[in-house]
Every structure is written in C-alpha cells, then in structure tokens.
C-alpha cells in the first residue's frame, strides 16, 4: 500500500503536537492518536508486562531459588549467536548477584555440536552431578534430550522464544512467550531470560538484598540481542531496545569499552546500526570462526587484560571472517556467471566453512532476488544455510522435498539450515526449483509508493535528523524511513573501498551539496555521469566517523 496517501484531518488534529514530518512517519506506522504517539515516542520502562503472565514462570523461579539455596550444580545452556550469548551474560550476572557459586555457562560449539541441546552434553552433565539445567534461546524442540536429562535426574527449565511444536518437551518448566496469553509473543531469547530474572527478583529481591532497579544494568545485553535477533521493535521489544541503548551508552561493561575502543566508536553516539553492523558480527564471529565462549568472556569480563585480549581477538576473527566471505563470494559469482539463472540458487564447495555459509546465502539472495541454498564441506555429510528473498517460505520449501533429499533441516520463513549427503547434493537444485514453482509468491521491490515522504537536499539538516531520531531505534516492525529526492544533479561519483565495491556520490540541488553512499554498488551499476539529473530513494544517516560529525544520505535506489 502506498505510504504517501493523505493524512485524514482527524489524525492530523490528533498528532498536531508534532512537526509535519513526524506526523507523516507516525501515520505511516499506523499510529493515529495522541495516546498511541506518546506511547511510541516515549517508551516507558514501567509499561513492561508482568513476567508471571508466562505459564510456568512461578514454577521456574521457585526451582531456581531451591537450587541456589541448596547449592545444586546449575548449568545455563545457551545458543551460540548474538541472542544466546547476551542471554548467557544476563544469567551469569544474575546468578552471581544472588550469590550462586555452583553454576556453569555452557555454549555448544557451532561446528562440533551444532544448534540446540545435544545428547552428548546431557550425558556429560549427568556425570558432573548437575541438578538443574536452564536453557536460553533454545530447547523448545528438544523432546528427546530433555527426556534423557530427566532420566538422569536433571530438572530442565526451558527458556526459549522459538515457535513451540505440537509435542512439547516434558521439562520441569517451559518459559516461552508464545505459549499461553503473554501480551508480547515476539521477545527474543535474551528478552525471555530477562523476564525470568525480573520474575525471580519480584519474589526474592529482599531475601538476596538486591538493590531496586539493579536489573536495569542487564538491559544493555537485552537491547543488543533484541536488535541483533531481528525481532519486531514494537511493544515490549521497543522498550528493551530503547533502554538497552541508553544503558550501553553509559558503557559500564569492560568488554564493551574495549570493543568500542577497537572500533573507534564513541558509545555516547551509539545508534542501533552500530550494534547490528559492528558489534553483533564480532560476537557472532566467535562461533563462526572459533569457540563461542570467547564472546561470552568478552561481554562478562571484569578484568582489563582479559577484556582487551578478547576484544582484539574477536576483531581479528571478524577480519578473518570478512576475508573468507569475500573469497567465497568471488568463487560463487564466478561459478554463477557460467551457469544458467534459475529461480532458486544452490551453490557450494566442499572446502567452504559451515560458519559463514549463512552470510554467503544472504548476500547472494540480496543480489539475485531469489532464495539461495549454500552448502559447505568437511568430513562426511555436508552442512548448509539458506536465505529467502520473501518469495517463498524456506521451511515450506524444504517440507515439500522428497523424503530422501535432506538429512535434516530447520529454520523459519526467511532463514534456515540443512544437512545433505554428498550423494544428494547435485540433485538438490532440480528438486528445490520444482517445489519452488508450486509455492512461490510475488515480491514487490522498493518503489516510489513505498517512500515515507519526498524531501529536498535543503531539508537534510539537524532539525530533520532530530525528528527522525524521535522514532528510533529502527529495525524490524519499525523500518528506517526512506525518502524520495526528485531531480537532483550529480556533481561527482566515485567508487571507494579496498575492492572499489562501494559508491560515493555528491548530489547538488538549489546550491546545496550532499554526500551520499551506496554500499556494494558502483558507478557502472547506475551508469552515473556528472551533470546528470536523477531521482533517488534513500535514507538519512548521522556519521561520527573519525570523530567528525556529518549528515549523509544512504542510497537505496537511483531512478
């Protein structure tokens, strides 16, 4: 639906306290009353929901209390991504705060153990006399693993946010916002862990002498996970993202201090994109390229030396990851150049490392506007990742395959993982294309009707930025506003970056010049020449690069 339709008089009257641009942005987000606008623009920490609205919360809290008091061995078992690892830090800080000295954080190895709770780990815990196992960001589908833990006498509290299957694990307690009537079902895994901590402190704060409001210091981790895990930034998630950024700007964590220093980033100027594009990739690099525990040790560090070492290590790992991705992308592009274009791309190499396959799939899907399945090697069976452009639900796609096509698979509409035998991999593209043809749907690209408003270059100023910042943080469910700039002249255009794969343009209009950047685009892609008049769709950004403030434009498309 076009965003540029007229704002009704009734809505304009309701939103009259705000400038016309803010009115337009609110209306485009279906916010039409002064009350809705107030709630959205001024997130209130006290408007969180009662954690006890989640089924089994009471049971989980009491069981943790019993385990802490009786000094039982507790294992917190978390996912290895930038939702699970901040969740591990939340649980670590909380258990230390209530004086628990008998707990361990366990993060499975992405390549050796794979995603989720696994039998080998459960067996290991049984030999170590573990009495309570708490999962974070996983476990909702671990029916047999939870059953085995119970056989060994280990109580399991599953905290997860993923879609519950029909047959739930027979855990001691399951805390999941998607079960029951919890008002915001779209929390991330760390968000659920935070609700568990909130619930515990509601009941036992005075007993453990935990200061009122102490848990707010955990919001930096909740905010990092909420922004990284691509959950909708509305309702309780908006509160978590907003206050999470606020806490992170106070920069109390040693590990984050060192990471910001490595990134030459001033935390006071932190915006959501700094977390999603700079911090999260370094956290994820730990599991993609090495051991995920390194990221946990960075975020939970209380020692300057360890914090510095881990920040440097993860930055170097991320640089290695970038090189690997560039190398694989080069190979993929060269292979695809020689092949006939099909509706679904399946590509891989037995030498490709599994940890970066999702990144390759995402980049190729963005570039080719189709679902992409990328597989990689190692000994035995092949592992793979897939990403969709929105034209097909990946789980539906894989569900539609003949039974012998894949060894295993999982995921959701836009992203997933799979394993496949070497014998089957060369037949896979034909099979997946055949299923795709039956279930594909149309995907509309960004068009003129999708823009939030038409702006001139003169309107790109601090006042406009101030208006835009009122609606931040942006992300899923609250997309960054995009604007149409009509008939602007190109003053200059040049490619930049080590590989000359990014584009910098200086636009001019009515004696106002503005710099714009387009990532992974070149002068040739848009056939640009100085003196041309073009219209473009773009977003407005603040840049603090090298300590210099600048308002710039990010190009989405040039018409």
**Local confidence band at 443 (pLDDT 50, 70, 90 cut-offs):** low
* Domain final residue, candidates 214, 248, 282: 248
Give Cβ neighbours of residue 125 (< 8 Å, ≥ 6 apart).
75, 133, 149, 152, 154
| Residue 449 clears pLDDT 80, i.e. is over it | no
Please report the pLDDT score of residue 2 as a whole number: 44
**Local confidence band at 3 (pLDDT 50, 70, 90 cut-offs):** low
| Residue 238 clears pLDDT 90, i.e. is over it | yes
Looking at the fold, whether 31 and 76 belong to one and the same domain comes out as: no
* Domain final residue, candidates 217, 248, 279: 248
- Average pLDDT, integer, range 5-10: 91
| Residue 448 clears pLDDT 70, i.e. is over it | no
Question: Is residue 71 in a domain?
Answer: yes
The two most distant CA atoms of the chain are separated, in Å, by: 76
Please report the pLDDT score of residue 1 as a whole number: 36
Q: CB of 158 within 8 A of CB of 102?
A: no
Rounded CA-CA distance 235/188 in Å is 13
Residues β-bridged to residue 558: 536
28 CB neighbour count, 10 Å cutoff: 20
Number of domains forming the structure of the chain: 5
Q: What is the DSSP string of 487-547?
A: EEEEEEEEEESTTS-EEEEEEEETTEEEEEEETT--HHHHT--TT-EEEEEEEEEEE-GGG
Please report the pLDDT score of residue 5 as a whole number: 77
Looking at the fold, whether 244 and 286 belong to one and the same domain comes out as: no
Looking at the fold, whether 524 and 382 belong to one and the same domain comes out as: no
User: To the nearest whole percent, how much of the chain has pLDDT over 70?
Assistant: 98
Question: Is residue 83 in a domain?
Answer: yes
Count the residues in the chain: 559
* Domain final residue, candidates 402, 423, 439: 439
Looking at the fold, whether 208 and 83 belong to one and the same domain comes out as: yes
| Residue 174 clears pLDDT 80, i.e. is over it | yes
- Average pLDDT, integer, range 47-76: 98
Most confident of 128-132, 270-274, 419-423: 128-132
Please report the pLDDT score of residue 474 as a whole number: 95
* Average pLDDT score over the chain: 94
Please report the pLDDT score of residue 248 as a whole number: 97
- Average pLDDT, integer, range 74-93: 98
Question: Is residue 283 in a domain?
Answer: yes
- Average pLDDT, integer, range 468-475: 96
Question: Is residue 333 in a domain?
Answer: no
Please report the pLDDT score of residue 408 as a whole number: 87
Please report the pLDDT score of residue 445 as a whole number: 56
Looking at the fold, whether 384 and 475 belong to one and the same domain comes out as: no
Looking at the fold, whether 314 and 388 belong to one and the same domain comes out as: no
Higher pLDDT, 36 or 414: 36
- Average pLDDT, integer, range 63-80: 98
Looking at the fold, whether 59 and 1 belong to one and the same domain comes out as: no
Please report the pLDDT score of residue 442 as a whole number: 65
Question: Is residue 332 in a domain?
Answer: no
Query: Residues 321-333: pLDDT tens digits?
Result: 999 999 999 999 9
Please report the pLDDT score of residue 115 as a whole number: 85
3-state secondary structure of 387: strand
Looking at the fold, whether 231 and 362 belong to one and the same domain comes out as: no
| Residue 547 clears pLDDT 80, i.e. is over it | no
Looking at the fold, whether 238 and 91 belong to one and the same domain comes out as: yes
Q: Determine if the peptide bond prior to 71 is cis (ω within 30°).
A: no
Looking at the fold, whether 433 and 474 belong to one and the same domain comes out as: no
Higher pLDDT, 356 or 447: 356
3-state secondary structure of 39: helix
Please report the pLDDT score of residue 444 as a whole number: 54
Question: Is residue 329 in a domain?
Answer: no
Q: What secondary structure, in 3-state letters, does 400-469 show?
A: CCCCCCCCEEEECCCEEEEEECCCCHHHHHHHHHHHHHHHCCCCCCCCHHHCCEECCHHHCCHHHHHHHH
Looking at the fold, whether 476 and 430 belong to one and the same domain comes out as: no
Rounded CA-CA distance 88/86 in Å is 5
- Average pLDDT, integer, range 23-29: 96
Do strands 550-558 and 533-543 pair parallel, antiparallel, or not at all (unpaired)?
Answer: antiparallel
Supply the range of the domain harboring residue 286.
257-324
Question: Is residue 365 in a domain?
Answer: yes
Question: Is residue 198 in a domain?
Answer: yes
| Residue 446 clears pLDDT 60, i.e. is over it | no
Please report the pLDDT score of residue 122 as a whole number: 98
Looking at the fold, whether 362 and 310 belong to one and the same domain comes out as: no
- What's the CATH code of the domain at 215? 3.90.1640.30
Query: Residues 350-372: pLDDT tens digits?
Result: 999 999 999 999 999 988 999 99
């Amino acid at each position: 639906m076009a965003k540029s339709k007229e704002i009704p008089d009734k809505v304009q009257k309701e939103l009259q306290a705000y400038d016309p641009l803010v009115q337009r942005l609110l209306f485009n987000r279906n916010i039409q009353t002064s009350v809705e606008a107030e709630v959205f623009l001024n997130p209130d920490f006290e408007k969180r929901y009662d954690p006890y609205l989640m089924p089994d919360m009471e049971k989980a809290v009491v069981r943790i209390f019993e385990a802490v008091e009786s000094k039982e061995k507790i294992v917190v078992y978390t996912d290895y991504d930038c939702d699970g690892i901040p969740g591990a830090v939340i649980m670590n800080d909380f258990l230390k705060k209530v004086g628990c000295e008998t707990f361990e954080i366990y993060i499975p190895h992405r390549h050796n153990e794979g995603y989720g709770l696994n039998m080998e780990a459960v067996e290991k815990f049984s030999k170590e006399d573990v009495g309570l196992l708490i999962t974070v960001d996983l476990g909702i589908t671990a029916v047999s693993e939870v059953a085995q833990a119970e056989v060994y006498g280990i109580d399991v509290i599953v905290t997860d946010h993923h879609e519950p299957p029909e047959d739930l694990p027979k855990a001691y307690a399951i805390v999941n916002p998607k079960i029951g009537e919890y008002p915001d079902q779209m929390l991330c895994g760390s968000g659920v862990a935070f609700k568990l901590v909130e619930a515990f402190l509601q009941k036992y704060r005075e007993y453990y002498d935990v200061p009122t409001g102490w848990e707010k210091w955990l919001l930096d981790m909740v905010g990092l996970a909420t922004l990284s895990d691509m959950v909708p930034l509305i309702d309780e998630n908006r509160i978590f993202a907003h206050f999470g950024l606020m806490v992170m700007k106070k920069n109390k964590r040693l590990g984050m201090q060192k990471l910001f220093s490595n990134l030459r980033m001033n935390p006071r100027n932190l915006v959501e994109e700094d977390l999603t594009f700079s911090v999260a990739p370094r956290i994820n690099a730990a599991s993609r390229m090495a051991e995920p525990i390194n990221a946990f040790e960075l975020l939970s560090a209380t020692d300057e030396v360890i914090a510095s070492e881990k920040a440097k290590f993860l930055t170097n790992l991320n640089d290695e990851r970038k090189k690997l991705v560039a190398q694989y992308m080069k190979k993929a592009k060269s292979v695809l150049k020689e092949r006939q274009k099909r509706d679904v791309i399946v590509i891989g190499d037995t030498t490709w490392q599994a940890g970066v396959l999702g990144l390759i799939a995402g980049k190729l899907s963005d570039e080719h506007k189709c679902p992409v399945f990328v597989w990689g090697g190692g000994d035995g069976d092949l592992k793979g990742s897939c990403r969709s452009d929105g034209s097909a639900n990946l789980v539906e796609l894989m569900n539609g395959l003949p039974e012998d096509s894949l060894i295993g698979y999982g995921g959701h509409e836009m992203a997933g993982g799979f394993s496949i035998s070497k014998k089957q991999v060369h037949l896979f593209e034909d099979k997946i294309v055949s299923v795709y043809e039956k279930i594909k749907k149309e995907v509309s690209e960004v068009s003129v009707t999708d823009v939030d408003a038409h702006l001139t270059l003169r309107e790109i100023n601090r006042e406009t930025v101030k208006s835009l910042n009122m609606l931040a943080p942006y992300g899923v469910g609250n997309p960054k506003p995009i604007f149409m700039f009509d008939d602007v002249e190109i003053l200059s255009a040049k490619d930049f970056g080590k590989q000359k794969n990014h584009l910098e343009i200086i636009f001019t209009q009515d004696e106002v010049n503005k710099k714009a950047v387009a990532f992974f685009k070149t002068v040739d892609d848009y056939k640009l020449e100085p003196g041309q008049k073009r219209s473009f769709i773009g977003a407005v950004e603040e840049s603090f690069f090298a300590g210099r403030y600048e308002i710039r434009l990010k190009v989405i498309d040039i018409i």
